[in-house]
Amino acid sequence: MKKVLIDSDTGLDDAMAFVHGLLSDEIEIIGVTSVFGNGEMIDCAYHAIEIIDLMGKSVPVVKGISEPLIGGCGPAPQVHGKYSRGPLGKLDLEARITPGYAPIFILDQIRSYGEELVIVAMGRLTNLAVATRLDPDLMRKVGQIYWIGGAISVSGNTSPVAEANADGDPEAAKIVCTSNLPLTILTLDVTMHALISQDDIDRLKRVRHPGVQHLVKIIPYYLDFYESILGERVCAGHCGLLLALVIDPTLITKTHRLNVDVELNGRLTRSQLVADRRKLRKLTEPDTSKDEGVTVIMQADVARYHTMFMDALLGADRT
- Which residue of this chain has its Cβ atom nearest to Ca ion in the complex? 122
Minimum Å gap between C-beta 318 and Ca ion is 28
Minimum Å gap between C-beta 35 and Ca ion is 9
> Does position 62 bind Ca ion by CB under 5 A?
no
Query: Applying CB under 5 A, what is the total number of residues that bind Ca ion?
Result: 5
With respect to Ca ion, which residue has the nearer C-beta, 8 or 272?
8
With respect to Ca ion, which residue has the nearer C-beta, 18 or 105?
18
Number of C-beta neighbours around residue 206 at 10 A: 10
Element (H, E) at 110: helix 102-113
> Does position 43 bind Ca ion by CB under 5 A?
no
> Does position 39 bind Ca ion by CB under 5 A?
no
Q: Which of 14, 43, 50, 189 binds Ca ion (CB under 5 A)?
A: 14
Pick the piece of the chain touching Ca ion (CB under 5 A) from 58-66, 139-147, 234-242, 262-270. 234-242
Helices 12-23 and 239-247: crossing angle in degrees, nearest 10, is 20
With respect to Ca ion, which residue has the nearer C-beta, 37 or 211?
37
Selection from 133, 139, 117 nearest residue 172 by Cα: 133
CB-based burial of residue 263 (10 Å sphere; 0-12 exposed, 13-18 middle, 19+ buried)? middle
**Angle subtended at Cα 27 by Cα 43 and Cα 20, rounded to the nearest 5 degrees:** 55
b/e map 88-127, b = 16+ CB within 10 Å: beebebeeebeebebbbbbbebbeebeeebbbbbbbbbbb
In the window 238-267, what residues touch Ca ion (CB under 5 A)? 239
Q: What are φ and ψ of residue 181, in 5° steps?
A: -90, 160
- Enumerate the β-bridge partners of residue 210: none
Site mask, Ca ion, residues 111-140, x = CB under 5 A?
-----------xx-----------------
Which residues form the interface with Ca ion (CB under 5 A)? 9, 14, 122-123, 239
